[in-house]
Amino acid sequence: MDQMIGRMLDNRYELLELIGSGGMAMVYKAKCHRLNRLVAVKVLKSDFASDADFRRRFYDESQAIAMLSHPNIVSVYDVSRSSPEYIVMELIDGITLKQYMERRGRLNWRESLHFITQIMKGLSHAHSRGIVHRDIKPTNVMVSAAGPVLVDFGIAMGEGESHVTRTGLVMGTPGFIAPEIIEGAESDEMTDWWSVASVLAFAATGAPVFGTKPMMAVLEREASGNANLTGLPAGTMAVFRSALNPDRSKRCTPDQLLNAIAV
């Protein structure tokens, strides 16, 4: 059993259940006793608590999301730099897109249209505030009754920040991170939109379109634009190939992708 379960943080948040785990942090369902409400609490792993770079990035996540207010983006309520460091967020009543796909299979076109429309609205709001998500993938999109919600801006950055850590690690997920990032380019709005296209293609086909392993093979497929779009109508396949083109100058716009799906 997780030793954090049952722990009270700052005499305010009681950790009830582990609901997620990432590279930097653990996410718990918790009860805020002062407000008598359920929340999600993201606690920095102790392995990283002694690393100033990781602490800064973790704290920057809360600042990045706190700038945003949109129904398709998770809300931040509180942040603490005490030990352990944690962020208190909205508890989304839903499952990840990856879990949704495992249970129900690929989205139909009506669902796909609703999905991309809502994600586009949320991401456009983030971009309008100068925030680039940088890690849009099926496990960072929650599916709720109200619609999809972008979560985990843990590697989000403001304009001018580097996407490479001090150890040289490129932050992102193979198959869902734009190919130019692998080549050393800076993350920007276009790289986020490439990731959205990859996630939507996953939702429409039922599988990661660049495969899952080995990692180098996935990256090579990205770099060559070799997406497996089997089963999609010809017109839709063509616009997805454009959206996922490794050459940024040849990519369609998010609106063009949306319009093609609508048609």
Query: Which amino acid makes up residue 113?
Result: L
Show Cβ contacts of residue 247 under 8 Å, excluding neighbours closer than 6 positions: none
Query: Backbone phi, then psi, for 221, in 5-degree steps?
Result: -65, -40
Show Cβ contacts of residue 186 under 8 Å, excluding neighbours closer than 6 positions: 162, 163
What Rg, from alpha-carbon coordinates, does the chain have? 19
Query: Which amino acid makes up residue 256?
Result: Q
> Hey, which residues are catalytic here?
135
150: helix, coil or strand?
strand
Cβ of 226: how many Cβ atoms within 10 Å? 15
The answer to whether residues 141 and 149 touch, using CB atoms and an 8 Å cutoff, is: yes
